[in-house]
Amino acid sequence: MPRQTVPPQATGTFIPGDVQNVLRKHKSAAFERWAAQLSGFADRTLISKPEDSQSWSLSTWLLGDIHVKEISTGCEEIVRRPSHVRQSYSEYVALHLSLHGGRHAIVDDQAFFMGPGEIHIHDLNRPLRFVTPSPLSALAVFVPYSAIGYDPSKHRTTTSIPVQSPTGQMLRNAMMAMRVDREQMQESDAPAVAAGFSGLVRGLIMHDVSDEKVQHLVADSRTQLIKAFIESNLTGTDLDTTSLCRRFCVSRATMYRLFAEDGGVAHYVTERRLVHAFKQLRTTAPHRGRVKEIAESLGFDDHSHFNRLFRSKFHLSPSEALGLWCENQSAHAQSAEPIPCA
């Protein structure tokens, strides 16, 4: 009978399947919680006394089919033995970025140090040993084999990418974007972000980037990530070409090429802001100054310019769009059902 593949969240909730935030003020209690979560996946040993360590914390969240984990730990040892691998078979690859401190690691007899200068990628379905000699803060992303085309019989068990390299900068920024923007991200954005990140890893790491098909894959994945970031930050002020180039480590020429079919970055951002403005205007109760309030929140300081753009796109004025709410109210006046907001 073939062995069943079990995702990490089913193996002692090492990576919980639903969004969790775990933070303990008492360090010993936090350590015990962590040890319980690792049960079945690996053994954990506290090296220093709990009261000598910094606050232990763990946050994990789901984005589509990938898992993201942010951790802060004291001194510890984690050992995943062959028996753990047999009991908790998981087809996931981990990308690890140390933000502060580091770990000594042995994965499948390959020894290395996981420090802030590199992004380390390794197969989770292998025996491993991590020793954290001092307080550590890190970000990790767990991606299914299938999402990146990883084949343990063909691809390396571990690899590392310097953060300062072009590939490293791109991956680091993508990982950090998922960490920073998760509070603003809509649930509907998660699949696109996950697909974009997985495609980026697949193109940059698993294949020859000189291949033309892979180049298209990387470009498409990068564009998805940038668009997901824009969609989650339409009220922000850092959506100009220069800021986006800096965040995603691409040249202006590359950014222009990625958004050529959308009329350029500025045009795409304006279009998305207009759509967002329309949704807000037609689904919120009108009051004096509401149109101005929504326009300014989306970066439209010139109200006449906003009105012209809005009318050109939707063939009605912002005030008329706001009036749609009143029409919906009238249509539902006799109904006890809530008015749909979409």
Cβ-proximal residues to 211 (8 Å cutoff; 6+ apart), any chain: none
User: Domain total for the chain?
Assistant: 3
pLDDT digits (tens, 9 = 90+) for 150-175: 888 888 888 888 888 877 888 888 88
Instruction: Give yes or no: residues 155 and 126 share one domain.
Output: yes
Residue that finishes a domain, picked among 228, 258, 288 = 258
Which pair of structure tokens corresponds to residue 130? 């991590």
Average pLDDT score over residue span 213-240:
76
Q: How far is CA 156 from CA 205, 219, 292, in A?
A: 10, 24, 56
pLDDT-derived band at 96, boundaries 50, 70, 90? very high
User: Does one domain contain both 54 and 69?
Assistant: yes
Rg of the chain taking only CA atoms, in angstroms: 24
Alpha carbon 26 to chain centroid, angstroms: 29
Res 214: pLDDT? 47
Q: Answer with the one of 104, 137, 161 that is the final residue of a domain.
A: 161
Q: Are residues 151 and 181 in the same domain?
A: no
Residue 40 zone, left/alpha/beta (φ > 0; ψ -120 to 50; rest):
left
- Tell whether 211 and 126 lie within a shared domain: no
pLDDT at 16: 31
* CA 52 to the chain's CA centroid: 32
In a domain, 26, yes or no: yes
Residue carrying the six token digits 């500025």: 266
105-142 burial code (b ≥16 CB/10 A, e <16): bbbeeeebebeeebbbbbbbbbbbbbbbeebbbbbbbb
Question: 198 and 71 in one domain?
Answer: no
Name all contacts of 107-113 with Cβ < 8 Å and 24+ positions apart. Answer: 107/157, 107/158, 108/157, 108/158, 110/157, 110/158, 112/158, 112/160
Weakest mean pLDDT among 68-77, 164-173, 198-207: 198-207
Question: Same domain, yes or no, for 292 and 178?
Answer: no
What does DSSP assign to residue 165?
S
Q: Tell me which residue range forms the domain holding 237.
A: 164-258
Mean pLDDT of 211-225: 63
Instruction: Give residue-wise pLDDT tens across range 301-334.
Output: 898 999 999 999 999 888 888 877 655 555 544 4
